[in-house]
Amino acid sequence: MTSYVLRRLGVSLLILLGASFLVYQLVALSGDPLAEFRESNRPNKDALMAQRSALLNLDVPAPVRYFLWLGGAVKCVVPGQCDLGRTLQGQPVTQALGSAIPSTLQLVAVATVLAIVVGIAIGIVTALRQYSALDYGVTFLTFLFFSLPVFWVAVLLKEFGAIRFNNFLADPSVPIATVVVVGLVSGLVWAVIVGGDLRRRLITFAVATVAAGGVLWYLGATQWFRYPGLGPALVAVTGVGIAVGLSALIAGSQNRRALYASLVTVALALVAMFALRPLLDRATLPLILLLGLLAVGAGVLVGYLFGGYDRRQSMRVAGLTSFLVAGLVMLDRFMIAWPSYFTAVRGRPVATIGSETPGLSGDFWVHGLDKYTHLVLPTLALMLISLASYTRYSRASMLEVMGQDYVRTARAKGLPERVVVVRHAFRNALIPLATIVAYDIGGLLGGAVITENVFSFKGMGALFINGLTHQDPNPVMGTFLVVGITAVVFNLLADLAYSALDPRVRVKA
Amino acid sequence: MSSTTQTDERESREVPGELRGMSQGALVRKRFLGHTGAIVSLVLLVLVVLLALTSVGVGPIPGWWQYRWTDTPVLQNGGRPTLQLFPFSLGEHPFGQDTVGRDYFAMTMRGTQISLAITFMVGMISALIGVVFGAASGYFRGWIEAVLMRLTDMVIIIPVLLIGAVIAYNADGGVLVLGVLLGLTTWTGMARLVRGDFLSLREREFVDAARLAGASDARIIFRHILPNAVGVITVNATLLMSSAILLETALSYLGMGVRAPDTSLGLLISANQAAFSTRPWLFWFPGLFIVLICLCINFIGDGLRDAFDPRQRKVSLRRMKESGPGRPDAAGAAPAVAAPDRTDGQPRSGPVGSVDGA
């Protein structure tokens, strides 16, 4: 095993060396760093050219220059000694990378995590209901999402998600026609999702249409979009829904202990919502993280105390419920901060470019809202596209597992369908997905070049593409190095994870 | 699509009698023709290709449309589109005019031509390289495999955008250069898939039999193994093309692909995105064509996969549960994108794959 890992790492190192040499030559071929001076008629033109030549070692031919760069890059093995050259503005590349990596991670990580969770959920459900209207609808949508050019989606999102939505927020009244259309669409969607025979579909359609239309009308009439909030009642109702749903899914509806445990955590969360209000007003990031951990811990503890015939199940259900309800409480607090954020940005909350509003003053909640309103559009654009592939993968994987003999055995021995799906099929369907997820995470740092470009987001992708278009070789090489190394490492991890999760696969030692 | 399920239900019951004496090709054709989505997409794609080719003409041959993409007629009615669906009429400028009055229908058609040309070129070239590399490394193994696969690993981590930038600086954004160079960088996934297929096929009995009968390596590869891998190759070539069109439009969008005075769908969007609030049609039409082409290719790829892979016959879980015994086929489409490159080169070989080809 160790020898396999070492051998793979050795080979990867050689590949990285070869590829970085090639990339360096290509970068040298992709433009002339002196071009901007050649055509200028500034008096100190020659001095500027000489200065830049000295900065980039342009008097050395590119194949040899690579080794000068490599000499600096190799020092990165020793912490603090890293030398990846400087950008044209004279900033060290390591410093530029240091600020680009966190902002890229912020953007891409949320989109990827959401895409994975939602994609797998949709894929599993469509696999369980293969060849239903839901399955066909989702299949068509995933193909459509595959086919969308991300820059096109991004421009559409900017127009409809930001500009027109902001216009709507300036005067948040919902016309009756919109209420009817939204109601009908949601009725249709729910009828397809719930399925069943014609009668059940019609009932679902009617209920969902009336409910969605009514809620929308109510929200419009009460100026909710201007002064949003959940309030304790809505948190309680949603929390109970989460508790019942999760315990039915994970523990089964016969396991009363798990249900009671999660209901108690919902009650605790409601108490905490009032008790912690003064604390939340002065919130900071560490405090929120601490409270989140405490919430999960409290949930697990409640689950432990309730026990039941499967103690771990109760703990899992209660912990998860507690986490989600804590999220709801957070959401409510963010909504309370909304009006003050709304006036702070002069009524244009959803941003189309950048990663934060410059010079914004406010507490933790206002800054949080600012960050999220900047992230929401690029995240949506990225999510839509990767969501499609996760849905397809998990659907295919689940279908494959559902046809296995052990699933038939599980059914034959009389297990309820929920246990067959959740315990036997779902977990095994995740195995091939683990490798895909690992590869994707390996590629995360590369950022989303086009998305970052469209939304003027300063991340790795922007660093790379700006370097390319401004004939600035060092940042391009820097991003390439970071991306290449993470890709290689995560490829190795993916292979190891696969063999660890599925013992039938062995690595060649 | 629901009609496909019915035909397949019928098909799966009548399989023994009906399929006796059908060649592999006939079987594949029959299954493909039964895939409604794929057939509709194929027809649509052919229509789009014909429309793009005939409307503004190819090279010196003039098309039937009155304007060319370089003409600048007088701006009429603010350049609004004159296309009417009910009753159908094209009008003077069906897709409107851009800011200087150029006919946007002609420009979109020209852009479609260019984007399609690059797409097909990238598809063909990278499929060719991928198949050659994959076949050679999978069949011969040993040092050939080691060298080719390390080369593949190297090409994978070279960013495609960099190639775009090199083209943008050194060439004038010609279709040929762009197509060839992009083809030279996108073959890696195909090479790994084909290698994986060859690795398993070369251990099969019919290969041993051919070798015992004295067949040469070339004969075994071309007559015995390649025909068995043709499904994987066709499906992936299709999906390669659907990603190639997105790649080409993205490059043109970033200003690294096709450049003015010629045009491509990505370039049209890039040039007109700022005008979205004033002249939205400049933004909509090229985008809709990209989506339409890509969607069609994806559906065709899905249909081809269902046609080539006999395990993918459609059997619904409910029917399976009701009818009791019988091989429950793990039906349904495998992912519609090419599997992400696995370093082991054996993509989707089921749960019992082996890392590093062990």
B175-183 vs B160-170: helix axis angle to the nearest 10?
150
Average pLDDT over residues B122-137: 94
Contact B269 A491 (CB under 8 A): no
Least confident of A338-352, B7-21, B263-277: B7-21
Count Cβ atoms within 10 A of the Cβ of residue A501 and give its class: 0-12 exposed, 13-18 middle, 19 or more buried: middle
Q: Chain B contacts of A482, Cβ < 8 Å?
A: none
Which residue of chain A comes nearest to B301, CA vs CA?
Answer: A143
**Which of A9, A192, A399 to mutate against chain B (most B CBs within 10 Å)?**
A399
* Confidence grade of residue A447 (pLDDT, cut at 50, 70, 90): low
- The answer, for A150 touching chain B at a CB cutoff of 8 Å, is yes
CB–CB of B131/B232 below 8 Å? no
CB atoms within 10 A of CB A220: 17
pLDDT higher than 90, residue A5: no
The number of CA neighbours under 13 Å toward the Cβ of B112 is 29
pLDDT higher than 60, residue A462: yes
DSSP conformation class of A82: -
What's the confidence (pLDDT) of residue B125? 94
Per residue in A294-334, pLDDT tens?
999 999 999 999 877 778 888 999 999 999 999 999 999 89
Contact A152 B287 (CB under 8 A): yes
Q: Which two tokens stand for residue A180?
A: 């009817």
The DSSP string of B291-311 is HHHHHHHHHHHHHHHHHH-GG
Q: Between B13 and A421, whose confidence is greater?
A: A421
What's the confidence (pLDDT) of residue A38? 75
CB nearest B335 (choices: A27, A392, A411): A392
Per residue in B200-220, pLDDT tens?
898 899 999 999 999 999 999
Q: Between A441 and B5, whose confidence is greater?
A: A441
Distance in Å, alpha carbon of B327 to nearest chain A alpha carbon: 8
CB nearest B154 (choices: A18, A32, A408): A18
What's the confidence (pLDDT) of residue B310? 56
Q: Find residues 271-310 of chain A whose CB sits inside 8 Å of chain B.
A: none
Q: Which two tokens stand for residue B146?
A: 């080691």
Rounded CA gap, B108 and B88, in Å? Answer: 19
What's the confidence (pLDDT) of residue B159? 86
* Confidence grade of residue A203 (pLDDT, cut at 50, 70, 90): very high
pLDDT higher than 80, residue B13: no
- Please compute Rg for chain B using Cα positions: 24
Rounded CA gap, B252 and B246, in Å? Answer: 10
What's the confidence (pLDDT) of residue B28? 86
Rounded CA gap, B88 and A5, in Å? Answer: 65
Contact B157 A18 (CB under 8 A): no
Q: Which two tokens stand for residue B200?
A: 């398993």
**Which of A8, A151, A152, A155 to mutate against chain B (most B CBs within 10 Å)?**
A152
Least confident of A146-160, A495-509, B185-199: A495-509
Which residue shows structure tokens 């070869």?
A: A18
Q: Chain B contacts of A159, Cβ < 8 Å?
A: 276-277
- The answer, for A395 touching chain B at a CB cutoff of 8 Å, is yes
Q: Chain B contacts of A498, Cβ < 8 Å?
A: 353, 355
Average pLDDT over residues B74-83: 75
Cis before residue A175, ω within 30 degrees of 0? Answer: no
Q: Count H helices, E strands: chain B?
A: 14, 0
Rounded CA gap, B304 and B236, in Å? Answer: 10
* Confidence grade of residue B136 (pLDDT, cut at 50, 70, 90): very high
Rounded CA gap, B138 and A15, in Å? Answer: 20
Least confident of A25-39, A134-148, A495-509, B169-183: A495-509
Distance in Å, alpha carbon of A477 to nearest chain B alpha carbon: 11
Rounded CA gap, B136 and B219, in Å? Answer: 13
Contact B328 A402 (CB under 8 A): yes
How many residues are listed for chain A in this entry? 509
Contacts of B48 (CB under 8 A, 6+ apart): B112, B116, B289, B292, B293, B296
What's the confidence (pLDDT) of residue A184? 93
DSSP conformation class of B357: G
Average pLDDT over residues A105-119: 89
What's the confidence (pLDDT) of residue A223? 84
Rounded CA gap, B225 and A356, in Å? Answer: 57
CB atoms within 10 A of CB A309: 11
Which residue of chain B comes nearest to A394, CA vs CA?
Answer: B335
Which residue of chain B comes nearest to A494, CA vs CA?
Answer: B342
Q: Chain A contacts of B357, Cβ < 8 Å?
A: 508
* Confidence grade of residue B355 (pLDDT, cut at 50, 70, 90): very low
Region of B99 please: left (phi>0), alpha (psi -120 to 50) or beta. Answer: alpha
Look up the ipTM and state it: 0.83
Contact B158 A31 (CB under 8 A): no
Contact B166 A18 (CB under 8 A): no
* Confidence grade of residue B311 (pLDDT, cut at 50, 70, 90): low
Which residue shows structure tokens 């955008």?
A: B161
Average pLDDT over residues A110-133: 90
Per residue in A247-275, pLDDT tens?
888 888 888 888 999 999 999 999 988 88
- Is residue B326 helix, strand or coil? coil
Cis before residue A228, ω within 30 degrees of 0? Answer: no
Contacts of A12 (CB under 8 A, 6+ apart): A488, A491, A492, B153
Contact A499 B355 (CB under 8 A): yes
Which residue of chain A comes nearest to B300, CA vs CA?
Answer: A143
The number of CA neighbours under 13 Å toward the Cβ of A287 is 12
Q: Chain A contacts of B299, Cβ < 8 Å?
A: 143
Q: Chain A contacts of B321, Cβ < 8 Å?
A: 411
pLDDT higher than 80, residue B309: no
CB nearest A450 (choices: B168, B250, B329): B250
- The answer, for A436 touching chain B at a CB cutoff of 8 Å, is yes
Q: Which of A103-107, B42-46, B98-102 has the highest mean pLDDT?
A: B42-46
CB–CB of B242/B298 below 8 Å? yes
**Across the A/B interface, how many CB contacts are shorter than 8 Å?**
196
Q: Chain B contacts of A499, Cβ < 8 Å?
A: 355
- What sign results for the dihedral spanned by CA atoms B225, B230, B235, B239? positive
What's the confidence (pLDDT) of residue B129? 95
CB nearest A498 (choices: B159, B348, B355): B355
What's the confidence (pLDDT) of residue B71? 76
Rounded CA gap, B183 and A190, in Å? Answer: 44
Least confident of A74-88, A261-275, A286-300, B248-262: A74-88
Contact B158 A449 (CB under 8 A): no
What's the confidence (pLDDT) of residue B42? 94
What's the confidence (pLDDT) of residue A382? 87
Beta bridge partners of A92: A86
Distance spanning both ends of chain A, measured CA to CA: 5
- The answer, for A495 touching chain B at a CB cutoff of 8 Å, is yes
Q: Which two tokens stand for residue A198?
A: 């014609």
Contact A508 B356 (CB under 8 A): yes
Rounded CA gap, B65 and B9, in Å? Answer: 46
Rounded CA gap, A151 and A163, in Å? Answer: 17
| Ramachandran angles phi, psi of B64, nearest 5° | -85, -10
CB–CB of B251/B163 below 8 Å? no
Chain mean position to CA B272: 27
The number of CA neighbours under 13 Å toward the Cβ of B124 is 9
Average pLDDT over residues A460-487: 87
Region of B276 please: left (phi>0), alpha (psi -120 to 50) or beta. Answer: alpha
Distance in Å, alpha carbon of A128 to nearest chain B alpha carbon: 8
Distance in Å, alpha carbon of B169 to nearest chain A alpha carbon: 6
Which residue of chain B comes nearest to A431, CA vs CA?
Answer: B351
Contact A435 B357 (CB under 8 A): no
CB–CB of A30/B162 below 8 Å? yes
Which residue shows structure tokens 């070279």?
A: B158
Contact A31 B165 (CB under 8 A): yes
CB atoms within 10 A of CB B324: 7
What's the confidence (pLDDT) of residue A242? 94
pLDDT higher than 90, residue B293: yes
SS3 sequence of A148-216? CCHHHHHHHHHHHHHHHHHHHHHCCCCCHHHHHHHHHHHHHHHHHHHCCCHHHHHHHHHHHHHHHHHHH
Region of A352 please: left (phi>0), alpha (psi -120 to 50) or beta. Answer: alpha
Rounded CA gap, A363 and B28, in Å? Answer: 64
Distance in Å, alpha carbon of B1 to nearest chain A alpha carbon: 8
- Is residue A347 helix, strand or coil? coil
Q: Chain B contacts of A8, Cβ < 8 Å?
A: 356
Which residue of chain A comes nearest to B337, CA vs CA?
Answer: A389
Region of B348 please: left (phi>0), alpha (psi -120 to 50) or beta. Answer: left
Q: Which of A81-95, A427-441, B185-199, B332-346 has the highest mean pLDDT?
A: B185-199
Contact A30 B166 (CB under 8 A): yes
| Ramachandran angles phi, psi of A230, nearest 5° | -100, -40
Closest CA to B118 of B207, B51, B186, B194: B186
Q: How much of chain B is in helix, strand and coil states, percent to nearest 5?
A: 65, 0, 35
The DSSP string of A416-465 is -HHHIIIIIIIHHHHHHHHHHHHHHHHHHTT--HHHHHHTT--SHHHHHH
Proportion of chain B above pLDDT 90, given as a percent: 24
Angle, CA of A27, A28 and A32, to the nearest 5°: 110
Q: Chain A contacts of B355, Cβ < 8 Å?
A: 495, 498-499, 505-508
Per residue in A384-410, pLDDT tens?
888 888 998 899 889 888 888 999 999
**Which of B35, B36, B157 to mutate against chain A (most A CBs within 10 Å)?**
B157
Q: Which two tokens stand for residue B235?
A: 């499906």
The one-letter amino acid at A363: D
Q: Between A110 and B261, whose confidence is greater?
A: A110
Rounded CA gap, A286 and B255, in Å? Answer: 43
Query: What's the mean pLDDT when you consider all of chain A?
Result: 86
Contact A399 B276 (CB under 8 A): no
